[in-house]
Chain A
């Protein structure tokens, strides 16, 4: 069954304002909002892959190094992301521990795996249930920003707990890496063009 997409009919939709125009070499810019017109986002797969690989690489230091150091009465105690969650569980704050676990470990990991699978789906020409894959893509793009939770929490803690030797919270090297992972996975999701999923269906 051949399904009518705009591109198959020689039409191009503007990504910013929704303008639908005839595909034409001379028409490179949207006549209304002047943003570039493309049938599909150019180099979508390559860009997504580049962001994704960088995110994978930075995911390692983000989990190995301490994300913050808590000093109490002169004794410093570095926390990794997982260490912080274990500390929360040990002090009987299970709901918050679960929240941090989901936001800082599960979401980034599932995002990395999910985007990898989406790229495989498109590159390998899989034709599975495209609707489900689109829903997965939407969940990935929606949920990404919530991983910033840890970074914001640290920014509040360092400002509040700053009393010299009595107690002090310092941000660690993993904070930079983790922040970069969140931004890179958001960029990866943004540069992935979900219409590629549906293009697989139309290929003979």
Chain B
């Protein structure tokens, strides 16, 4: 195939000789500066380990109280779920669904997809839906917004600090842990390598 020695920049479509940078270095498009390739050490194994860690942190982060407040003797805890449920009970369905998707469901789906893909690649096991999983992972990634939610917690706490006493719950620590796990997960998953490994498993000759 004539295309085998070339690749194209995703942002400006410049035809390039395939870059194969060393681990630790990066390849950028010479014309538009787009990050083309950033290989990682043990990308598959790290993704597997981090997604297991993320799955463990997900439950305490979702169900344990993040922040609690105390006003005139009343105490109240807030978890990721109570926010969504309260919005739902106030008939703010659209907002409730948006918050549910971006702070609960999509982070969960992302971690599960990472686990499935890296688990199969680690054990060199084929699966009918392997390409679909990686495809959806790449497309859903940007809709999980844990780090924005974290900033939301900070702003809410500053607003409340004037009128009430705040307590930070165990859930918050799990949530911050999940946030870091997620960030590491995104930076350690090497898309090029994953697609290459999948092609090898499927017996296709392919380089990207």
Q: Is B131 an interface residue (CB 8 A)?
A: yes
Q: Does A113 contact B (CB under 8 A)?
A: no
Task: Say whether, besides A20-B3, A163-B74, A32 and B10 are in contact (CB < 8 Å).
Answer: no
Interface assignment of A112: CB less than 8 Å from any CB of chain B: no
Is B25 close to A, CB under 8 A? no
Count of chain A residues with a beta carbon within 8 Å of a chain B beta carbon: 68
Quick check: is B174 within 8 A (CB to CB) of the other chain? no
Q: Contact between A15 and B10 (Cβ–Cβ < 8 Å)?
A: yes
Given A11-B15, A163-B71, A167-B71, A148 and B162 touching (CB < 8 A)? Answer: no
Q: Are B8 and A161 in contact (CB under 8 A)?
A: no
Q: How large is the interface on B (under 10, 10 to 19, 20 to 34, 35 or more residues)?
A: 35 or more
B78 within 8 A of A: yes
| A1-38 vs B, Cβ < 8 Å mask (1 yes, 0 no) | 00111111101010111111110000000011111000
Q: Which of B44-52, B85-93, B110-118 contacts A (4 or more CB under 8 A)?
A: B85-93
Which residues from A are CB-within-8-Å of B103? 152, 155
Interface residues of B in 37-84 (CB under 8 A from A): 66-69, 71-72, 74, 76-79, 82-84
Query: Which among B1, B92, B131 has the highest number of chain A CB atoms within 10 Å?
Result: B92
- Residue from the list B33, B74, B98 in contact with A166, Cβ < 8 A: B74
Number of A-B contacts (CB under 8 A): 213
B156 at the interface (CB under 8 A from A): yes
B162: chain A residues at CB < 8 Å are 91, 93
A155 in contact with B135 given A7-B13, A91-B162 (CB within 8 Å): no
Task: Write the nearest CB–CB distance from A69 to chain B, whole angstroms.
Answer: 10
18 A-B residue pairs with Cβ-Cβ distance under 8 Å, sorted by A, are A3-B31, A11-B8, A18-B208, A19-B206, A21-B3, A31-B204, A31-B206, A32-B131, A100-B155, A134-B12, A134-B33, A154-B95, A155-B103, A160-B77, A163-B76, A166-B74, A179-B95, A199-B13
Top 4 A-B pairs, shortest CB-CB distance:
A152-B152, A6-B8, A18-B208, A155-B83
